[in-house]
Structure 1
């Protein structure tokens, strides 16, 4: 179905077909079938008393509607409904409405239009089933969208990414209470495989630390955090040759930042055990 395969486009074509039907019915109501012989042959004639202006307007409305709806048949011909034995260019009664209207029963054109509308409606259903859900920036982690929102809404996509990247870096420092470091060091410290030390807690993926998947996740978080900092934050902030991002380019970067923020949320904070004071005078230190 080419460029007409999106649900929105197909619904627009369906609306055009329905507008044609309404305009054609209005035009047809100004006519009456006159039988010419005993064999049933005849033609439509304008009803007595119909003003010429009303007839002209009705005919123009049908012509315009037919021009818009005429594409519907070609869409069906390029769809699973197409049957080479049942469709061809000459059978497009919307395009040929005026040539056939005076010697073809109006009901035939209406039936054709209804059939076409039904087939387009079925194509809409198929396209909706095949189209993946459309996700936007508002579905991102609240921290990320909150930092990017105002800049995104005015089309400053690169700055929106930079703002969101700064926000997730701040979040990493906040979760580990490490306001003495910045940049890649935040993630190197937060996700380090070294044991925590006083003032240097770690973020750990939940689960058995000896389990392969947990070990893999902890190692991956270190690489991912550092990678996001270097490839997204640094490039958005001061990358050489970086131009304004398209919405899609910005959304993909925000998605990575959002994922990092969500993983931070899922991690546990691993802190060093409080130091036990050394005993004095050979006596054990009392503990509460």
Structure 2
């Protein structure tokens, strides 16, 4: 759960503690909004969330939920009792989330390529794992477009054009690793491997993240960042080779 969501839950708790929930309609609205937040970030079968959902929020005395509880001392006490019970459940959930958050691994900038670290570490450590991975793919694309001068391409076509082992063409430069003998078996493996790896990153990580609503697990998101960091390193270390008429 992101720090932003936890803070919103704390704000709801503070509102209850300050006496902002003063009627049955207030209580119902407060309950529904908190429950919506909880269900958006926690499993539906979470024990405390289920307990929060099932806890009654209506008066046992009247059907009218819009009146102020102060009009009836007995109902005022009932309202306060139910709000206190719900607040205690919410406190328990927040305590659990704080403990879980404290045990989560923090992402260290030294473990990633500088492009990726600068873009994602704060997002990751604030709990925005999906956004961190999305930002990593965006940074790679921006850097690669700038390096090749290919603003007309993006995603899979962009990385394919970059690492394609075929010679560069007019207006279509390539990235090349200088540590391998030109056209040797190692050279071919390096460039074909980088091209297919980059295609996989764009298709399996970037495209699925953008076009499918499924939230990646923390472990999958972390491993995705590792893959994208390696791709960023290859883009950074490779040199741009332009078309040369003498090479045909």
Which range, TM-score by smaller chain?
0.5 to 0.7
> Which 4+ stretches in 1 moved above 3 angstroms?
134-137
Which structure would you say has the larger Rg? Answer: 1
Q: Measured at CA, do residues 223 and 244 of structure 1 come closer, stay the same or move farther in structure 2, by a change above 3 Å? A: closer
Which stretches in structure 1 are left out of the alignment for 5+ residues? 1-133, 276-288
Contact 1:187-1:225 at 8 Å conserved across structures = yes
Q: 2:243 aligns to what SS in structure 1? A: coil
Q: Distance in 2 between matches of 1:152 and 1:199?
A: 37
RMSD: 2.1
Note the C-alpha offset of 1:245. 3.0
Residue 183 of structure 2, aligned match among 210, 215, 235: 210
Q: 1:173 aligns to what SS in structure 2? A: helix
Q: Distance in 2 between matches of 1:273 and 1:140?
A: 35
Q: Measured at CA, do residues 137 and 274 of structure 1 come closer, stay the same or move farther in structure 2, by a change above 3 Å? A: farther
Note the C-alpha offset of 1:169. 1.4
Partner of 1:257: 228
| Larger helix fraction of residues | 2
Q: Distance in 2 between matches of 1:167 and 1:274?
A: 33
Q: Distance in 2 between matches of 1:136 and 1:193?
A: 35
Greater displacement, 135-144 / 174-183? 135-144
Partner of 1:235: 208
Partner of 2:239: 268
Partner of 2:164: 192
Partner of 2:45: none
Contact 2:162-2:175 at 8 Å conserved across structures = yes
* TM superposition score normalised by structure 1: 0.45
Note the C-alpha offset of 1:264. 1.3
Note the C-alpha offset of 1:136. 4.0
Q: Distance in 1 between matches of 2:192 and 2:216?
A: 33
Q: Measured at CA, do residues 200 and 270 of structure 1 come closer, stay the same or move farther in structure 2, by a change above 3 Å? A: same
Contact 2:169-2:242 at 8 Å conserved across structures = yes
Q: Distance in 1 between matches of 2:134 and 2:209?
A: 5
Which stretches in structure 2 are left out of the alignment for 5+ residues? 1-104
